[in-house]
Amino acid sequence: MTAAAPIATFTTANQHALATILEASQTKSIIASRDIFDISGIKLWARDQPVSSALQRRLLDRQLRNPLESCLLAEDGVTVYSLTQATEALLERDQPIAALLRPHAARLLKEMVHVPLHSVAQLLLTAGQASRPEGFDHAVQAMALAGALMLQQDGSTAEVRVAMLAGLLHDLGEMYIDPRYGEADADRNLDFLSYQQLVVHPHVGHLLIAQLTNYPGSVSRAIAEHHERLDGSGYPHGLRRDAVSPLGRLLAVAEGTLGALRGERPHLSRASVALRVVPSEFDLGWVGLVEQAARAQPARRSAHGADEVRLRLGLLDVALQAAEARAAALLPLAESSDLKGALELSRHLLSRLRTGWNASGLWSPEEVAAQDAAEVECVEDELSYRLRAVERAAQLRAGELAPHDAKLLEQLCVELRSLNP
């Protein structure tokens, strides 16, 4: 899978990560934990000196002897105790994931104090908490949810702690991309250019943890995999089935659950539908736990009447069929292997959507009356989102195209954009 955004390296200071650290230094004490030298031995910053905008100017275009992240220390930053407080606040909030967390509250808080905070992770979490609070809150939610799911499956103490650690760190790679493209704000609504930036963050996070910390390899691998899907439709590498590690499968479900709960009128049933609407995307062992909790919650009310739901579903069914037909018709006209690959991917993803659609029975309007209208609405919303995601995936796979092929791809994209009833 092609990604246009530059991959972070740690021999130079990443401008986005550094800007976040500098912003955090206005309210947090962040100092150099050692002298900072460039690759030629020139001293750029002295040990114990607080970071400031002057450091940013000195680091401009300089290759460093040691990664900047390994040379800085947040003296009053995130600790296991502040994480415990954040988790306690999370447990007290009235929000959908509480049903998954509260049965394990005592154990989560007990294990929290044993989650190891490497200085690099602590620095970046501190910077995120101060400068990107929504992202930090998402990290705490993912930490608690991954731990709760592992506890629900009777995981060992070590497995619970590793799951919590991976959840906490899974999106650190976002600090290395433009904050306008941060997933915690808008993953489900990003345009293609923004999506190009976002898709590299699992790989950046993997490199960060693998190269700059001493955490287990299972953690960095799971971070790389938290947007992969078992059917090969995920990113950044399109891994399939056994190529995704057990911890990566857990993180994918935790991330998928939290992602589905963003936006208006969040309900656990929406997350349950999002994890099940396309067969074989997620590990069913973890999905089943979310579905079980969703069924135990009070029923969600539909925002639409039965007649309107039938109309919207009918239009969505037509859009789904038309998009699949368009991808098939364009394939023989494609000149480049890049466009052929993009169209094949589109056909595969649309076929998976059709499989999920047919399995739901919602293609038959008569079925609407026999099902809970709110769940029907969740399915509709999720399928609409998935069709938009097909457009982004096709564009990402195609990359830069010659004018003829670019026009063909645009025809498919226009078809996909017409999906909303």
Question: pLDDT tens, position by position, for the chain (421 residues)?
Answer: 444 444 456 889 999 999 999 999 999 999 999 999 999 999 999 999 999 999 998 998 899 999 999 999 999 999 999 999 999 999 999 888 999 999 999 999 999 999 999 999 999 999 999 998 999 999 999 999 999 999 999 999 999 999 999 999 999 999 998 877 655 444 445 555 566 667 889 999 999 999 999 999 999 999 999 999 998 888 888 899 999 999 999 999 999 999 888 866 778 888 888 898 887 889 999 999 999 998 888 766 666 666 776 677 777 777 778 888 888 999 999 999 999 988 988 888 888 777 776 666 554 555 555 455 666 677 777 777 777 778 877 887 888 889 999 999 988 888 887 765 4
CB 50 within 8 A of CB 5: no
Q: What three-state secondary structure class fits 240?
A: strand
What is 80-295's CATH superfamily?
A: Hypothetical protein af1432 (1.10.3210.10)
Q: What three-state secondary structure class fits 73?
A: strand
Question: What pLDDT was estimated at residue 3?
Answer: 41
Q: 3-state secondary structure string, 20-46?
A: HHHHHCCCCCEEECCCEEECCCCEEEC
Question: What pLDDT was estimated at residue 54?
Answer: 92
Burial, 167: exposed, middle or buried (Cβ in 10 Å; 0-12, 13-18, 19+)? Answer: buried
Question: What pLDDT was estimated at residue 185?
Answer: 41
Residue with tokens 């230094």: 25
**Backbone φ and ψ of 30, nearest 5°:** -120, 120
Q: Taking the model in full, what pTM does it have?
A: 0.84
Q: Which residues of 118-131 are buried (b: 16+ CB within 10 A; e: fewer)?
A: bbbbbbbbbbbbbb
